[in-house]
Structure 1
Amino acid sequence: MNETLFSALAEPNRLHIVELLRSGPLTVGEVAEQLGFNQPQTSKHLKVLHESGLVEVQPSANRRIYKLRHQPLIELDDWLDSFRRLWEERYDRLEDYLLELQEKDKEQGNKE
Structure 2
Amino acid sequence: MHAFDVLGDPVRRRILELLAEGEQSSGAVTDVIRAEFGISQPAVSQHLRVLRDNGFATVRPQGARRLYAVDDTALREADAWLAKFRRFWAPRLAALETEVARGKRQRRLQQDEGKHRD
With structure 2 as the length reference, what TM-score do the two structures score? 0.65
List per-residue Cα deviations over 1:47-88 (Å, max 9, x = no partner): 011111100110111111110011221221121111112x26
Give the structure 1 partner of residue 31 of structure 2.
33
Distance 1:88 1:64, change over 3 A: closer
What percent of counterpart residues are identical? 37
Count of residues in correspondence between the two structures: 88
Contact 1:32–1:39 under 8 Å retained in 2: yes
Q: Does 1:81 align with 2:83?
A: yes
State the alpha-carbon separation in 2 of the partners of residues 22 and 16 from structure 1: 10
Task: Classify the secondary structure of the residue corresponding to 2:21.
Answer: coil
Give the structure 2 partner of residue 67 of structure 1.
69
Q: Does 1:8 align with 2:6?
A: yes
Large movers: runs of 4+ above 3 Å: none
Task: Classify the secondary structure of the residue corresponding to 1:58.
Answer: strand
State the alpha-carbon separation in 1 of the partners of residues 20 and 89 from structure 2: 29
State the Cα RMSD in Å.
2.2
Letter in 1 for 2:73: Q
Letter in 2 for 1:56: T
Letter in 2 for 1:31: V
Give the structure 2 partner of residue 53 of structure 1.
55
Shift of 1:33: 1.2
Contact 2:55–2:72 under 8 Å retained in 1: no
Give the number of the structure whose alpha-carbon radius of gyration is greater.
1
Distance 1:41 1:80, change over 3 A: same
State the alpha-carbon separation in 1 of the partners of residues 63 and 89 from structure 2: 50
Segments of structure 1 that go 5 or more residues without pairing to the other structure are 92-112
